[in-house]
Amino acid sequence: MSVRDFQHFINGEWTAPAGGGMIDSIDPSTEDVIARVGRGNAHDINAAVGAARAAFPAWRDKKPKDRARLLFDLARAIEARVDEFAKWETLDSGKPLPRSRGEVLSTARYFEFYAGAADKYYGETIPLGADYIDFTLREPMGVTAHIVPWNFPMNMIGRSVAPALAMGNTAVVKPAEQTPVTAMLLAELMQELGFPAGVFNVVNGYGTEAGAPLTAHPDIDCITFTGSVETGRIIMKTAAEHIKPVVLELGGKSPNIIFADTDLDLAVAEASKGIFSNTGQVCSAGSRVLVEARVRDAFVEKLAARTNQIKVGRGMDSPEMGPLVSREQYERVEIYMGIGREEGAEVAAGGNRPPEFEKGFFWQPTILDRVTPEMRVAQEEIFGPVLAVLTFDDEAEALEIANGVKYGLVAGIFTNDINRAMRLARDLKAGQVYVNEYFAGGEETPFGGYKQSGFGREKGLEALINYTQVKNVAIRIR
């Protein structure tokens, strides 16, 4: 397979990186180089922000229905190329091919969903009495910055860029250095479809070299970031300098609470999906299972049996679980396994590198049993295929453990007791609550964090708030 080279996409053109350097992107299943992208710096960012600024007035003033049509065209064009895009997403990230397909189709769905909103997001009229007419306008922000992580490379671009463009903003995207390829394929497609130059720009590079100057640029109007708490904190501080709004979607240590009255086979299947999907590299992973004490043994036995059957393999072979995205991520999992063992957790499944692979960042699907709430493996985000199993005696204890971490992204509840489900849904500190199906929801449902999982909401109509500002016009009739 030949290695593809991509320059930055700035002002509708392929633009050589100002500093001249390139970054290798590797396939984490084989450690082979599959592509090279520009190593962006402040000069490249400056050019991209300038292009986005110049493109903004015309894009903003385009009729919403015409913006929508272009975005609908993009959705259909992404669907038409699903095989090609999925292949590259898999090569770049290690994801199993069927998962990449799903994520590419979901990217198309974001463009479709927000295209539909482009001409339907209205202002209001506000009654001030007979002598006034008062109305609100929802105006775009301007130039939007998108700092994207590596766990859902193309999908997350769709998630934030689609609502931004639909509302009349322009965008500068900085993909993750580990997984830059599909952003470039999207740029190619938008160029083909005739998106106006400068509406969508992509500058690749490292966080400190390209991400930091983007978030610090005085001429951007808002920042959407998904990634680690540490980087989120830096970005928020940087944004404070120019008083720019930020949406931060950070990590999680989300609880999946399983009561004895639930169908155990269902709970096992959903707990497995919750942690092993995308090799556990999911901000909303159900990385803590809280299981009611009296079904604990049966649950762990069934879950361990299922876990041992999961086929780990190269993304292109469509296994159930692929490798971790990078050596750093692999080492992080290894370190946390050591911490868990030291803390006294019992390994009920997995726990090691699968012996059959000489290369690639593979890790066995792993269950840490007899975890207690104060352990680091119960508190800290591992971001790999490592599940912590804790037990509780009653609902009150389950709630206390569930809420007893610094994060609050999502929570799962498995029970047949509707009142219990409703009480917990009310009391859990989480931006999304799933009852009887983990990851329930879709592009339509608002998503974001409580506590240190961040703030602001993406997905659904709720996300449009991030990419608009409201102007109130009050008119006195004389």
* Contact status: 108 vs ligand NAI (CB under 6 A): no
* Contact status: 92 vs Mg ion (CB under 5 A): yes
Tokens read off for 463: 């996300």
Number of residues that bind ligand NAI (CB under 6 A): 28
Tokens read off for 199: 């509406």
* Contact status: 468 vs ligand NAI (CB under 6 A): no
Nearer to ligand NAI, 150 or 299 (CB): 150
Nearer to ligand NAI, 207 or 431 (CB): 207
Contact residue for ligand NAI among 239, 283, 295, 348 (CB under 6 A):
283
Between residue 329 and residue 358, which ones bind ligand NAI under the rule CB under 6 A? 329, 332
Tokens read off for 364: 């066995």
How do strand 407-408 and strand 450-451 relate by DSSP bridges?
A: antiparallel
Contact residue for ligand NAI among 383, 438, 447, 450 (CB under 6 A):
383
* Contact status: 278 vs ligand NAI (CB under 6 A): no
How do strand 346-349 and strand 366-369 relate by DSSP bridges?
A: antiparallel
Least separation in angstroms between CB 6 and Mg ion: 12
SS3 for 16? coil
Least separation in angstroms between CB 251 and ligand NAI: 5
The C-alpha angle 317, 106, 143, rounded to 5 degrees, equals 125
Q: At residue 387, what are phi and psi to the nearest 5 degrees?
A: -100, 135
* Contact status: 235 vs ligand NAI (CB under 6 A): yes
Nearer to ligand NAI, 185 or 203 (CB): 203
Tokens read off for 76: 């259909």
Catalytic residue among 103, 283, 381, 443: 283
Between the CA of residue 156 and those of 9, 195, 275, 319, what are the distances in Å?
18, 20, 19, 23
> Residue 291 in contact with residue 389, Cβ under 8 Å?
yes
Contact residue for ligand NAI among 161, 172, 202, 212 (CB under 6 A):
212
What does the alpha-carbon distance between residue 46 and residue 53 come to, in Å, rounded to a whole number? 10
What does the alpha-carbon distance between residue 160 and residue 169 come to, in Å, rounded to a whole number? 11
Task: Specify whether 222 is catalytic.
Answer: no
Q: Select from 25-33, 75-83, 135-143, 400-408 the region that touches Mg ion (CB under 5 A).
A: 25-33
Binder of residue 92, out of Mg ion, ligand NAI, none (CB less than 5 to 8 A by kind): Mg ion
* Contact status: 151 vs ligand NAI (CB under 6 A): yes
> Residue 23 in contact with residue 205, Cβ under 8 Å?
yes
> Residue 407 in contact with residue 428, Cβ under 8 Å?
no
What does the alpha-carbon distance between residue 281 and residue 59 come to, in Å, rounded to a whole number? 35
* Contact status: 184 vs ligand NAI (CB under 6 A): no
Tokens read off for 9: 């996409």
Binder of residue 135, out of ligand NAI, Mg ion, none (CB less than 5 to 8 A by kind): none
Catalytic residue among 89, 103, 209, 249: 249
Contact residue for Mg ion among 7, 15, 25, 90 (CB under 5 A):
25
Cα–Cα nearest to 165, from 58, 45, 76, 48: 58
Residue 193, H or E segment: helix 181-193
DSSP structure class, residue 370:
S
Q: Select from 86-94, 141-149, 261-269, 428-436 the region that touches ligand NAI (CB under 6 A).
A: 141-149
- Contacts with ligand NAI, residue ranges (CB under 6 A): 147-151, 174, 176-177, 206-208, 211-212, 215, 226-228, 231, 234-235, 249-251, 283, 329, 332, 381, 383
- Contacts with Mg ion, residue ranges (CB under 5 A): 25, 92, 178-179
Residues assigned a catalytic role: 249, 283
